[in-house]
Amino acid sequence: FDGYPSGVQTRLLIPVLPILVWLVLLGMQEKFGHKRPLLPKLVVGLMLLAALAHNGWRVARPLHSSVEADGHGLVDPSQGANWLAENAEAGTIIMAQEPLVRHIHFQLPVVGVAGGQPAAVARIIAEFSPSYLFIGPEVHGSPRQLEARGQVLLSLARSQPEVFESVFEDRAESIHIFRIRQP
């Protein structure tokens, strides 16, 4: 959907498709109306059946449970938000991968983790004084699995118990929240 070579994102044209189909059908009716009056009705009927089948499949198998054969699928970025809402005070700073996505769901200030290297994490802690480290699956990764950056962060947090205290863990969803002890 990058729109190469025009630069227009094709996905933005999807809402225009019904209008395009309607105009094509009107043109077909004008051109072939007296010869094939059922053709536009047949096309619209097939489109409606396809739409109902697709939407029925989505109702039967919700998006959050759709996982591809290679393990990739939709990750729910709100995982862990309930725990933070119950335990973190307003204005508490959270350190996490994908800070914008997490901020939207946590409704708290979130700072990003640059690669998960110990020196970078220490610099972020010194600069922003976050209270919690959130580690979870990345939104465009695999559900219930940590990507490489998440695994590096998790091993770093577990290797420094004097800095990172585990306060919440959901092994089924690979969600880990650590309280950060300020030096």
Omega of the bond leading into 99 within 30 degrees of 0 (cis) = no
Sign of CA dihedral 97, 110, 68, 14: negative
CA distance 97 to 141: 12
Structure token digits, residue 162? 């004097």
Give pLDDT, residue 33.
66
Q: Is the pTM of this model over 0.85?
A: no
CA distance 89 to 147: 29
The amino acid at 15: P
Radius of gyration of the chain (CA): 24
Structure-derived torsion over alpha carbons of residues 147, 150, 151, 154, reported in degrees to the nearest 10 = -160
Sole residue written with tokens 């998960």? 116
Strand partners of residue 67: 73
Show pLDDT as tens, one digit a residue, over the chain (183 residues).
455 556 666 666 677 777 887 788 778 777 776 666 666 677 778 878 887 887 777 677 665 555 555 556 667 778 888 898 899 898 899 999 888 888 888 889 999 987 778 888 899 999 999 999 999 888 877 778 888 888 999 999 999 999 999 999 998 888 999 999 876
Is the CB of residue 176 less than 8 Å from the CB of residue 136? yes
Give pLDDT, residue 67.
59
Closest CA to 136 of 165, 107, 95, 179: 95
Give the number of C-alpha atoms closer than 13 A to the C-alpha of residue 157, restricted to the C-beta side. Answer: 28
